[in-house]
Amino acid sequence: MKNSKCYDYGEHIKEILDRVCSTQWEAMDNCAKKMAEAISKGYSVYAFGASHAGILAQEMFYRTGGLAVLNAILPSEFMLNTRPVTQTSQMERLAGYPTVILNNSDIREGDVLLLHSVSGRNTAAIEMALKAKEMGVFTVAITNMEYTSQVTSRHSSGKKLFEVCDIVIDNCGDFEDSSILVPGMTQKIAPTSSVVGCSIVNMLVIRITEHLLEMGVEPPVFHSANVDGGDEFNRHLFEKYKNQIHYM
């Protein structure tokens, strides 16, 4: 195993996660506190990402051990089941549509919006962040600062995602996201943003829960639907937090 580059990938993921924990803790804690405050006041938390970046939004909502009030924004044109899938890359660069998405969502002043874009250069996440801020929504970016610092913006403002959000969390990944160079190849393989990003958002869930408990608020955490009593427990959450849940 140690003679294979797949071992190097595992070690590299550990190194990146160590960097995230050592360098991004303050940003992550501030993000979690802001989200907990919003939840405690009856507001909602949303997450969006285009194409593979949308995996983090899907990771955060409607799952066992997750918070019931985390809402994913998943427009079909940006998702990986779109055919041809290359359309998602074109949609990310299309101005105007992110505003349409937000205008047709339930997001409102006081809510929090988490935006994931690895390069941080495309119109979709940037326009959504700018529009959300106009609406009085607090914005958080998860991006790759090594990557985004080496590319230009595709948004008309000339700004990148980290420049327009209230809090920025660096996923500490490599340029272009791919991470391992196999002998005989000139192109690196094996992206890290999904593995590390999912770890980041689950660490956020843990910290949000801790903050809620400190506030004296019972965290609305799902049980598995595959254990006895799970469906009944989760139905109670849906009813209790129906004004903060927008994916039913």
Which domains does the chain possess? Answer: 5-240 (3.40.50.10490)
Could you report the per-residue pLDDT of 12-37, keeping only the tens digit for each?
A: 999 999 999 999 999 999 999 999 99
β-pairing, 45-49 vs 189-191, is unpaired
C-beta of residue 20 within 8 angstroms of C-beta of residue 196: yes
Is the pTM value of this prediction over 0.85?
yes
C-beta of residue 244 within 8 angstroms of C-beta of residue 237: no
Give Cβ neighbours of residue 169 (< 8 Å, ≥ 6 apart).
24, 27, 28, 31, 140, 141, 142, 143, 200
Average pLDDT per 10 consecutive residues for the chain, totaling 248 residues: 84 98 98 98 98 96 97 93 90 94 96 98 98 98 98 98 98 96 95 98 98 98 97 97 96
Query: In Å, how far are 18, 42, 48, 143, 190 from 244, measured between CA atoms?
Result: 34, 7, 17, 26, 37
Give dist(CA 85, CA 18) in Å, integer.
34
Could you report the per-residue pLDDT of 130-142, keeping only the tens digit for each?
A: 999 999 999 999 9
